[in-house]
Structure 1
């Protein structure tokens, strides 16, 4: 069951979809459900390339998870101008979405999961480092060096234009100097130390947008924390959006197994008393 929602974040209205699992009548209103909040990437939307996030949500809800997909400001059906803000705006919008899900009676507050893809992966970890409500983190092909990675996507000519005139048009998005400056200010690989929860990283070897080496670099940095585990899975021949049927199925299966295992571990521990 899908429910269209609008979440106010400052002067921006975030458009989203809250998707429910099959709620059994006898547990409706009493059972708490884990929720997965999906953070899309650079100039993306809640549908995802080739329906990546739609298909992910369908798999997740079929296994008993609530899922919230939303468009960042200026993307999809949300209001605002994506390029006029910076990573700070994306982090704040993500935290506003967490405010919303935390207020839902059906949500298990101990099982709020952020799933971020590409730049959304960097936004997710930066948010998790600032917000203790994020209990688990899933990163698909995550950006590790925001300024360098986005520069490689939009091109050095666009960066030069932004430095010279203060803005540049990229695929009809007007990117401003505030946006590019903010990319340089945030360092996910060092700031991740503020997050103490468990992490899963999934990346493809055929990713030509974000290097698969980031998967190993992120895991190394997460391992240096005093708390929290980090698992990684590298999918052979998978591209940046896991576009092949085989790569997509692997990505979904790996993600579901991982978050299911976390839930089982939590359930097992709850049976112990001291």
Structure 2
């Protein structure tokens, strides 16, 4: 496989990109775009995104991992981050992917973890050519679930002082206000492709019931065979065990083969 790192200008920021392509000379490749979660980065917890990217490349998939602005190696400050801005950035990433000659334009796949799952769900229906979305431990209610992570005091302090320091990440008043305006479950009802959802059944950060919530939202306007999903036994939110992460990646690949 071949890995290329570069920066992509999006609005007034430079987003750090890692693009991995398979060794195979048979093109075009299907592409998986990885979207990280709240205060995350393109590496992922315990290098989960890197491990997954390398595995998928070995199976003939190209992958694109990126840092949202204010995250990882991208420019910007987290104090300027809102979910609305991240939606715009993912859309720009998708539009960039459409310019890559080696990519199969009929098989661009979104994969999001945690809040990145919600972001992927919010964006997918806006691009009719996207026919597969993969959700890992996805957030279903950004406002309520992120508030459960930061604590309600975080919002109150941000409203009073304009910002809140969450483990070294500045959360603005606008960050909390903006979360209220996004409903990924509702947007998933509009998506007409195929949905793959996996969640640790011992997730203490984001309820494992979200898998069923996404399934129900998706099946409101889709046939049952378009959904694949399962819980990873005993796994936590970030699959912090080699057995859990391997099962997560393997099941994802199995479902991708099933939906191809």
Q: Moved runs in structure 1, 4+ residues, more than 3 A?
A: none
Q: Equivalent residue for 1:230?
A: 227
Q: Is the 8 A contact 2:70 2:80 kept in 1?
A: no
Q: Equivalent residue for 2:97?
A: 101
2:125 aligned to which of 104, 109, 129? 129
Instruction: Compute the displacement of 1:226 (Å).
Output: 4.1
Instruction: Compute the displacement of 1:23 (Å).
Output: 2.7
CA deviation digits over 1:165-185, x for unaligned, max 9? 221111221111111111111
Alignment partner of 1:10 is 2:7: no
CA deviation digits over 1:45-85, x for unaligned, max 9? 00000000000001100000000010000100000123323
CA deviation digits over 1:148-192, x for unaligned, max 9? 111111111111101212211112211111111111110111121
The separation in 2 between residues aligned to 1:43 and 1:115, in whole angstroms, is 17
Alignment partner of 1:83 is 2:82: no
The separation in 1 between residues aligned to 2:120 and 2:11, in whole angstroms, is 19
Scaled by the length of structure 2, the TM-score of the pair is 0.96
Q: Equivalent residue for 1:272?
A: none
Q: Where in structure 1 are there 5+ consecutive unaligned residues?
A: 264-274
SS of the counterpart of 2:238? Answer: coil
1:259 aligned to which of 237, 253, 256? 256
Alignment partner of 1:180 is 2:197: no
Q: Rg: which structure is higher?
A: 1
- 13-22 vs 218-227, which deviates more? 218-227
Tell me the matched-pair count: 258
Instruction: Compute the displacement of 1:101 (Å).
Output: 1.0
The separation in 2 between residues aligned to 1:83 and 1:144, in whole angstroms, is 23
Q: Equivalent residue for 1:189?
A: 185
Q: Equivalent residue for 2:247?
A: 250
Q: Equivalent residue for 1:270?
A: none
Alignment partner of 1:241 is 2:231: no
The separation in 2 between residues aligned to 1:94 and 1:124, in whole angstroms, is 8
Q: Is the 8 A contact 1:72 1:82 kept in 2?
A: no
Scaled by the length of structure 1, the TM-score of the pair is 0.91
Q: Where in structure 2 are there 5+ consecutive unaligned residues?
A: none
SS of the counterpart of 2:235? Answer: coil
Q: CA RMSD in A?
A: 1.2
Q: Is the 8 A contact 1:197 1:227 kept in 2?
A: no
Q: Equivalent residue for 2:164?
A: 168
